[in-house]
Amino acid sequence: MSEHAKPGNRAPSTRRDFLKRTAAVSFAAASSCGIARGAFAGATGTIKVGMIGCGGRCTGAAGQALRTGRDVKLVAMCDIFEGRLENSLKALFRSAGDSGSRGRTGGFRDQIDVPPERRFVGFDGYKNVIDCSDVLLIACASKFHPMYAEAAIR
- The pLDDT, as a whole number, for residue 142 is 77
Beta bridge partners, 121, equal: 79
Q: To the nearest whole percent, how much of the chain has pLDDT over 90? A: 52
Residue 7 lies in a domain: no
Domain count, the chain: 2
- The pLDDT, as a whole number, for residue 120 is 98
pLDDT in tens, 3-13: 555 555 555 66
| Average of per-residue pLDDT values in the chain | 79
Residue 3 lies in a domain: no
Residue 4 lies in a domain: no
| Residues in CB range of 111: below 8 A, 6 or more apart | 66, 70, 72, 73, 74, 96
- The pLDDT, as a whole number, for residue 54 is 96
Residue 77 buriedness (CB in 10 A; 0-12 / 13-18 / 19+): buried
- The pLDDT, as a whole number, for residue 112 is 96
Range of the domain at 88: 46-153
Minimal CA–CA distance to 120: which of 152, 59, 77? 77
CATH number for the domain that contains residue 75: 3.40.50.720
